[in-house]
């Protein structure tokens, strides 16, 4: 395990603090970065997202999908949680908190934007960090790869329609052209680039060269993640300092969602009698949000300074410590799972 994985929460925490400090010291600089747009897409954020997502897409192995029938229970669990449960519970919690419980604490327009950001987080499935979560829980790496590959294929076709349906139900404006452009930009193109890269490497050299390539680009991917965190919290720095209570309001339903979804997945994994090396990544992939995609799409759809963008940024803030607590729990309860999948 590398130094990044070992001290993940520390690196992200330092990046968050750095972003908030720099954002308050140099608001003009961050405003200039925020204005670098093309077709409603922030170019700097887009580049950082690409740098983060590309290594994950290189790891996507379509040939592994043929093995999904060998141990289907874990994959079915992940898909059901990711696509049939999580998006709808997130939308429901957003509506519950910002239309009922917190309705007197935020203005209606801003509350609706928070719901939009939460919906984007809920629909975006497993993050590039799932390989880290799987490694930390000693999950089966090949099975994790199958799960990620299948989810990425589904995401190409399902992300925009499900997002549109939930935003429509919540009576939120849906810029369909920008939504579809975001899916192409942040999912389809990186996936194509990753697949082409993988095919070029594996067709010309041994498989070990692919691992060498991934190891070489990993530091760049990590740097992209940390720069993105710095930028996101720099963009929202004044709001974070001036209205910390807003961050807390958004964090409450996001934390409840994460622990709640994990509880559903964990209970189902035990009922299905999955082995620990399958149950651990299945539960964590089902629980984790693709916050990189959610942030990028929120910025494209509603702008850097929107409530939707802020909600996805809070999603970044919540994701790492909550997921690490779940990793700890999964490892502490590994004795509750059989050694082999039945």
Encode pLDDT of 11-49 as tens digits. 888 988 999 999 999 999 988 988 888 777 788 888 888
* CATH number of the domain within which 212 lies: 1.20.1530.20
- What is the per-residue DSSP string for 78-134? HHIIIIIIHHHHHHHHHHHIIIIITTTTS-HHHHHHHHHHHHHHHHS---TTHHHHH
Inside any domain, residue 162:
yes
Its domain, for residue 183, covers 3-336
In terms of Cα–Cα distance, which of 33, 31, 151, 93 is closest to 311?
A: 93
Residue 194 has pLDDT above 70, yes or no: yes
pLDDT digits (tens, 9 = 90+) for 204-226: 755 558 778 888 888 888 888 88
pLDDT the model gives residue 96: 96
Q: What is the mean pLDDT of residues 308-324?
A: 88
Inside any domain, residue 341:
no
CB 91 within 8 A of CB 169: yes
Residue 3 has pLDDT above 60, yes or no: yes
pLDDT the model gives residue 207: 53
- What is the per-residue DSSP string for 26-58? -HHHHHHHHT-EETTEEHHHHHHHHHHHHHHHH
Domain count, the chain: 1
pLDDT digits (tens, 9 = 90+) for 92-107: 999 999 999 999 999 8
pLDDT digits (tens, 9 = 90+) for 100-127: 999 999 989 999 999 999 999 999 887 6
pLDDT the model gives residue 64: 66
Backbone torsions φ then ψ of 239, nearest 5 degrees:
-65, -40
What CA–CA distance (Å, rounded) separates 125 from 152? 8
pLDDT the model gives residue 79: 92
How many other β-carbons are positioned within 10 Å of the β-carbon of residue 199?
11
What CA–CA distance (Å, rounded) separates 254 from 290? 13
Inside any domain, residue 342:
no
């Amino acid at each position: 395990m590398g130094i990044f994985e070992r001290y993940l929460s520390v690196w992200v925490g330092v990046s968050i603090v750095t972003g908030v400090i720099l954002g308050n010291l140099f608001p003009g600089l961050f405003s200039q970065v925020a204005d670098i747009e093309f077709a409603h897409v922030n170019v700097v954020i887009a580049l950082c997202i690409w740098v983060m997502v590309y290594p994950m897409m290189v790891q996507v192995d379509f040939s592994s999908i043929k093995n999904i029938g060998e141990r289907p229970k874990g994959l079915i669990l992940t898909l059901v949680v990711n696509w049939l449960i999580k998006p709808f519970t997130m939308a429901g919690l957003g509506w519950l908190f910002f239309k009922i419980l917190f309705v007197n604490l935020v203005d209606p327009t801003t509350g609706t934007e928070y719901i939009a950001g939460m919906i984007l987080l809920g629909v975006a499935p497993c993050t590039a960090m799932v390989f880290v979560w799987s490694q930390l829980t000693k999950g089966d790496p090949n099975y994790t790869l199958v799960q990620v590959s299948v989810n990425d294929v589904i995401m190409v076709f399902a992300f925009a329609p499900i997002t549109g349906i939930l935003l429509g139900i919540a009576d939120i404006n849906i810029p369909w052209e920008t939504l579809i452009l975001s899916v192409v930009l942040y999912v389809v193109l990186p996936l194509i680039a990753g697949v082409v890269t993988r095919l070029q490497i594996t067709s010309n050299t041994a498989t070990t060269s692919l691992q060498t390539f991934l190891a070489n680009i990993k530091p760049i991917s990590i740097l992209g993640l940390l720069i993105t965190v710095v930028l996101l919290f720099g963009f929202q720095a004044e709001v974070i300092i001036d209205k910390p209570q807003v961050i807390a309001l958004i964090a409450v339903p996001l934390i409840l969602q994460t622990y709640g979804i994990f509880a559903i997945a964990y209970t189902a994994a035990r009922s299905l009698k999955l082995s620990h090396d399958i149950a651990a990544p299945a539960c964590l992939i089902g629980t984790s949000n693709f916050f990189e995609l959610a942030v990028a799409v929120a910025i494209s759809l509603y702008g850097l300074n929107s409530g939707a963008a802020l909600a996805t940024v809070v999603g970044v803030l919540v994701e790492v410590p909550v997921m690490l607590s779940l990793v700890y729990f999964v490892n502490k309860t590994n004795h509750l799972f059989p050694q082999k999948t039945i």
